[in-house]
Amino acid sequence: MTGAAPGAPLDPRLSAVLKDVAKLALTALFALSSGWVFSQFRLPVPYMLGSLIGVWVLGGLIRPAQPWLGVPRWFHIPVILGLGVIVGGAIGPGFIGSVLIWWPTTLVVIVATTIATAIGFLVLWRLRRRPWLQALLSAVPGGQAEVSVIARDYVDKDYAVVLSHLVRVTFIFLSTPLILALVEGQAAVEQSYQAQDNLPGLFELPPRRIIEFLAMAFGSYALAWLIRMPMPHLLGPMLVSLVLNALGWVETIPLNEFVLLAQVTIGGQIGARLSRVPFREVLSYLIDGLMVSVVTLSIYAGFAVGVAVVLDMRLLDAYIGFVPGGLYEVTLLSVLFGLDVAFVAFHNTLRVVLIYVGLPFVLARTQLADSKPEGN
């Protein structure tokens, strides 16, 4: 007889999958338990805040658990695909007409992004004395995943760039629910609870709707990947869902279970990354991130207040539509809070696309300067 001897090592691929499943299980345990505690105190978006803070704090306190926290990419990507479908469905009919109305705020986003990038860059380059390219990539207000990939190829301390963006996203992620409660009161928080409770469950939808949802999520991702669309896992499903819902061919309805899953996945992933940050070693770069976050958010918040006053908009719509809080995170927040999802998704996507398109040209110009000795 042949076979694996007792005690023989597992296949490496199977071992990796089992480790991923263990990470996912522990992260979900921390996230769901913390989210439940937050919900008992009627805090805004409890499972989103609870997942981030709970995984972050528990992971920091229980150091042996840190290597076992995280959300595997093979799990994270399908969640983002589904989120893209939901956002596209929420935008729905009337999108083109809305875009024509939004041309003033489109110009505001372009101006605010240019100013925020320039001032954030000068703070890090001149005040904090960081290398030119590291300062630039750390100051760019958005495109966290894309900028992180670029940083690995262009700068030595890519973790400094990642930390700067992580601080900004976390700050917005945590502050937005509190702003909701402060600006619009506890009644708005209760409405966000009611809105999620009213979402249909998985077993309340006919099988056809579920098949449509899955087909849009995975089919659009494959199409976006083939045509090399930037951010294919979000923009592909979002655009396909938007078009099909606008034409009336499908009707995408957010599922209660999926919205909860998205909160736990995104919040848990950020919390897991934060829990592994060696605070004493990277305190200086955390200060960088905090300084850039304050500068960037102040600029965008100022423009948001001005737009809300001039155009008589809901302040939270303008704020979430402008601030660079992470494309996945702010689109989910807009769904949870009942905001103008089309406005939020359009302006955040515009900002990220501006950065995604413009950054290669800026890198071509700055790479020569970065290659010179720092003393020059």
User: How many CA atoms, within 13 angstroms, populate the side-chain half-sphere of residue 266?
Assistant: 29
Q: Determine the pLDDT at residue 58.
A: 93
More confident residue, 5 or 66: 66
Written as six digits, the tokens of 84 are 């893209």
Contact 116, 328 (CB under 8 A): no
For the chain, what percent of residues have pLDDT higher than 70? 78
pLDDT band at 1 (very low <50, low <70, confident <90, very high): very low
Between 117-121, 129-133, 214-218, the lowest mean confidence (pLDDT) is in 129-133
Q: What residues contact residue 234 under an 8 Å CB cut-off, 6+ apart?
A: 80, 81, 83, 84, 327, 328
Q: How far apart are CA 25 and CA 17, in angstroms?
A: 12
Radius of gyration, alpha carbons of the chain: 21
Between 87-91, 184-188, 247-251, 354-358, the lowest mean confidence (pLDDT) is in 184-188
Q: What is the pLDDT of residues 156-184, one digit of tens each?
A: 777 778 778 878 877 776 777 777 677 76
More confident residue, 344 or 23: 23
| CB neighbourhood size of 294 (10 A) | 15
Q: Determine the pLDDT at residue 376.
A: 46
Contact 357, 140 (CB under 8 A): no
pLDDT band at 116 (very low <50, low <70, confident <90, very high): very high
User: In terms of DSSP H, where are the helices of the chain?
Assistant: 12-40, 46-61, 73-91, 95-101, 103-122, 132-139, 144-154, 158-197, 207-226, 232-247, 256-275, 283-311, 315-322, 327-336, 341-371
More confident residue, 198 or 111: 111
Between 71-80, 141-150, 242-251, 360-369, the lowest mean confidence (pLDDT) is in 360-369
Averaged pLDDT, 182-203? 66
| pLDDT over 90 at 204, yes or no | no
Q: How far apart are CA 267 and CA 261, in angstroms?
A: 10
Contact 174, 330 (CB under 8 A): no
Q: How far apart are the first and last CA of the chain?
A: 71
| pLDDT over 50 at 374, yes or no | no
SS (H, E, C) 222-254: HHHHHCCCCCHHHHHHHHHHHHHHHHCCCCCCC
Between vectors from CA 24 to CA 18 and to CA 28, what angle results, nearest 5°?
150
Q: What is the pLDDT of residues 266-320, one digit of tens each?
A: 888 878 888 887 767 667 888 888 899 899 989 999 999 999 999 998 888 898 8
User: In terms of DSSP H, where are the helices of 123-157?
Assistant: 132-139, 144-154
Between 27-36, 185-194, 241-250, the lowest mean confidence (pLDDT) is in 185-194
Q: Determine the pLDDT at residue 92.
A: 66
Averaged pLDDT, 327-342? 75
Q: How far apart are CA 372 and CA 376, in angstroms?
A: 7
Q: What is the pLDDT of residues 31-71, one digit of tens each?
A: 999 999 988 887 766 787 788 889 988 998 898 999 999 99
Cα 40 to Cα 37, 43, 47, 93, 107, distances in angstroms:
5, 8, 11, 37, 42
Q: What is the pLDDT of residues 10-21, one digit of tens each?
A: 677 888 889 999
The most confident of the ranges 32-41, 82-91, 93-102, 253-262 is: 32-41
Considering the chain, what is the average pLDDT of its residues?
Answer: 80
Q: How far apart are CA 175 and CA 300, in angstroms?
A: 14
Between 2-11, 128-137, 212-221, 259-268, the lowest mean confidence (pLDDT) is in 2-11
Q: How far apart are CA 162 and CA 261, in angstroms?
A: 25
Q: At what angle do helices 73-91 and 207-226 cross, to 10 degrees?
A: 110
Q: Determine the pLDDT at residue 168.
A: 81
Q: Determine the pLDDT at residue 60.
A: 87
